[in-house]
Amino acid sequence: KQEVTQIPAALSVPEGENLVLNCSFTDSAIYNLQWFRQDPGKGLTSLLLIQSSQREQTSGRLNASLDKSSGRSTLYIAASQPGDSATYLCAVRPRSARQLTFGSGTQLTVLP
Amino acid sequence: DGGITQSPKYLFRKEGQNVTLSCEQNLNHDAMYWYRQDPGQGLRLIYYSQIVNDFQKGDIAEGYSVSREKKESFPLTVTSAQKNPTAFYLCASSIGSPTPEENTQYFGPGTRLTVL
C-alpha cells in the first residue's frame, strides 16, 4: 500500500529565505505527484503537478522536483514571504488506484 | 464562475443524528470525491464516484453513505454509525481518468462538522 511522508511537520523561517519541503513515497508506480497549499480552515489549492515522465515543474517562485527511483519529491520556495505561510501537502496518484494518497503536510510559517 | 461549492461551512450535530453535507460542481467533471481531514493528518478518502449512478468505497467508508444522481452533485451523509465524525470534510472533483498523468483534483472550501 502506498504511503506518503512529509518531513518536517512544521517549519519556521525568516522572510526572504529560500526553503525546501520534502515528500517521500513508498511505491514508485505512480501517474503523477501533486503539491497543494492549504490555508487554515480552507480547501486545497493545487500548486504544481508533475507527471511520472517529468523531473520538475516550475510556477513563479515555486519549483517542484520528482525522483521516482528514490521515491522523493521536493518543493523549493524562493525568496519566501509571509503570505507563503500555510500547510503544504503532497499527494501521489498510484497506478494501482484511482484516488490520491496524501501526506500529512508541512506547516510553514514565514516570519516578517 | 466555475468551481466547487460545499455547504454548510460549519455544521453541528447531536449524537445519534444523521447529517448530509452538500457538494456541487459546475466544472462538468465526471469524477467526484469525499475526503476527511483530522488535525495533523493528511486527507483520507471516504467515497468516490467516477460517473453518475456509480460510486466506490474509499479507505474509511464505514458510517458514511453517498449518492450520485446528478453529475453536478455528490452529497455525503454522515450516519449515526460513524463513531467519531468530528472532522473537516473536503469534496473534490476531476475530469476523470482518460489521461491520468495530467489529471488534477480541484477542491471545495470544506465543511467543518462538530458532534456535540
Instruction: Please report, in tens digits, the pLDDT of each residue of chain B (116 residues total).
Output: 569 999 999 999 888 899 999 999 999 999 999 999 998 788 999 999 999 999 999 999 999 999 999 999 999 999 988 889 999 999 999 987 656 666 788 999 999 999 98
Nearest CA to B105 out of B18, B54, B30 is that of B30
Q: Whole-angstrom Cα distance, residue A4 to residue A101?
A: 7
CB A93, CB A31: distance < 8 Å:
yes
Q: Given this model, what pLDDT does residue B16 score?
A: 86
Confidence bin at A76 (pLDDT 50/70/90)? very high
Contact pairs from chain A to chain B, CB under 8 Å? 65
Longest dimension (CA), chain A: 43
* Alpha carbon distances (Å) from A52 to A32, A47, A100, B96, B107: 5, 16, 14, 17, 22
Q: What is the mean pLDDT of residues A76-83?
A: 97
Report the pLDDT value the prediction gives residue A56, as an integer from 0 to 100.
95
Q: What is the pLDDT of residue B1?
A: 57
Give the closest-approach CA distance of B2 to chain A in angstroms. 14
Question: Residues B31, B47: contact at Cβ < 8 Å?
Answer: no
Q: Are β-strands A62-67 and A56-59 bridged in parallel, bridged antiparallel, or unpaired?
A: antiparallel
**Contacts B87 to A, Cβ<8 Å:** none
Nearest residue on chain A to B105, alpha-carbon basis: A46
- Say if the Cβ atoms of A31 and B101 lie within 8 Å: yes
Query: What pLDDT sits at residue A99?
Result: 81
> Looking at residue B49, what is its pLDDT?
94
Asked if A4 has any chain B CB less than 8 Å from its own CB, the reply is yes
Residues A32-73 pLDDT 10s = 999 999 999 899 999 999 999 999 999 999 999 999 999 999
Per-residue confidence (pLDDT) for residue A97, from 0 to 100? 77
Residues of chain A contacting B43 with CB distance shorter than 8 Å: 44, 89, 91, 100, 102
- Give the amino acid at A37: R
Which pLDDT score, from 0 to 100, does residue B5 have? Answer: 96
Q: Distance of CA A17 to CAs A38, A71, A78, A107, Å?
A: 21, 26, 7, 16
Cβ contacts (< 8 Å) between A100 and chain B: which residues? 43, 45, 105
- Residue in A4, A44, A91 closest to B90 by CB: A44
Give residue B50's Cα distance to chain centre.
13
Q: Distance between CA A37 and CA A84 in Å, rounded?
A: 9
In chain A, which residue's Cα lies nearest the Cα of B55?
Answer: A98
Q: Give the Cα separation of A76 and A50 in Å (integer).
A: 14
In this predicted structure, the answer to whether residue A81 has a pLDDT above a threshold of 80 is yes
